[in-house]
A and B are shown apart, each in its own frame.
Chain A
């Protein structure tokens, strides 16, 4: 007998009593959804996409040009869908898909390093800023120049609007290290941007 577990409106994913019992924490929700998706439930997979799309997009944006990040989100989830059966620990889904996202972004970056630089770093002459004015391209290019440990937390916080606690929960890092990386990253970003002020 199946019961219905509402993991988010409006989608309702049907889970059996065993998986329902496990779906109490975010990792438990993933666990239940992954097991359902591995059993062929596309609704469960779509729910995983909805739950983690923002995280995947943030990771991609931390590594890849902005033009690529939107399209790559679908690619990452399609790659995951094709390999769901290889995921041995369903509760580790978020780390797994984050790893796929990093790999996709890195492979893209390796293949088109020059294009990345052009896409993000070269100012558009038609949109030349006035002195002291910051542009989104400049800030993203500055973030891309930061050490890897700072890039993802900063993008997830400043672009995707996650809190530090949420970043820690989603990435598996400790809250302490996320806080340190956010503040160190912000300090370096400020230096990269020439000590801009509000």
Chain B
């Protein structure tokens, strides 16, 4: 359709009756600008005048109410038991307890706990889990999950909440996810909202909502695939990600890549198969998603960085 005829694209084009009718109907929902009600800010000169007093007050606070101050740190993590007898550094959690950096939280087969992540979200810790707080400060909340499960919901800006596992670092891009680590260090993430970036060494996977990715120690994150994919597809991807390349595994993966949900899987796979196989992956990717302008076949087969980014953006995998 020519651009000047496409009213859906260009509201200055010749109106389309159906689209126009929807516009009229939906108009009452449109944004009504209101003044931004920002918290008041003290003028700079006034702030400067109060600096000595503020310093003195801070010192007094540190000297006389230090314990209270620590307890009220807005970035501190708090642990509460949800079931059984979760433990922090061997001691049973009674009521609510602070989880300080360096401390370990452990649950047994009948225990569960909830960690409030300093105002940026929370993580429910499943049975048979062991995790440690590494940092809890403004701009960075980091934990190490050595085994077990966390069900995390985070509403901070991207890259503030990070989880180290033996196989990969899970970087929250604003989301909710279920992360599992097995005793051998392998793991799996199932993202239910937003995105998570998994990184280890040179390998990086961006896992969107509705997708799952496996992880292996020493190999890093695997290719994300749609949740609910059949075992044949999962096994083929695991073989491609963590074993020696076999064309038969790629055949299975390509056959199982159906619909737009499979596009992120194919985008990752394109960069992981041997050069001679990239064309097949590209063709499947082009079949399930629209081709971004500037990301032509040759550029994609060369793994041209700009072309990959264009397609990554097309799939919503880039912030």
Contact = CB atoms under 8 A, between A and B. Distances in A.
B47 to A, nearest CB: 10
B1 to A, nearest CB: 8
Contacts of B23: 158, 161
Interface residues of B, number: 55
Contact of B29 (A46, A74, A159, A179): A159
Contact of A106 (B26, B31, B193): B193
B156 A83 contact: yes
A52 to B, nearest CB: 10
* Majority DSSP secondary structure for residues of B touching A: loop
B44 A139 contact: no
A103 interface: yes
Interface string B88-111: 000000000000000000000000
B28 interface: yes
Interface in A50-67: 50, 53-54, 57-58, 61, 66
B22 A102 contact: no
A174 B31 contact: no
Contact of B155 (A50, A107, A139, A160): A107
B18 interface: yes
A137 B173 CA distance: 32
A184 B25 CA distance: 20
A134 B36 CA distance: 34
A172 to B, nearest CB: 6
A69 B175 CA distance: 19
Contact of B38 (A54, A81, A100, A159): A81
Contacts, number: 146
Contacts of A117: none
Contacts of B310: 174
B66 interface: no
Contact of B31 (A57, A74, A92): A57
Interface string A181-198: 111001001100000111
A174 B292 contact: yes
A104 B155 contact: yes
B10 interface: yes
Interface stretch (B222-230, B235-243, B249-257, B311-319): B311-319
B8 A157 contact: yes
A86 B23 CA distance: 38
A115 interface: no
B32 interface: yes
Given A87-B157, A99-B157, A179 B9 contact: yes
Contact of A40 (B21, B25, B41, B156): B41
Contact of B10 (A136, A148, A163, A189): A163
- Highest count of chain B CB atoms <10 Å: which of A99, A147, A182, A196: A99
Nearest 5 A-B pairs (CB), nearest first?
A198-B17, A164-B9, A57-B31, A49-B36, A180-B290
Given A58-B31, A100-B174, 8 more contacts: A42-B38, A45-B36, A50-B33, A104-B155, A106-B176, A161-B11, A172-B318, A174-B292
28 contacts: A40-B41, A45-B38, A49-B36, A58-B31, A81-B39, A96-B158, A99-B173, A99-B194, A100-B174, A103-B175, A103-B194, A104-B155, A106-B193, A107-B176, A134-B25, A139-B26, A140-B29, A160-B30, A161-B23, A163-B9, A164-B10, A172-B318, A173-B314, A175-B293, A179-B9, A186-B19, A198-B17, A198-B21
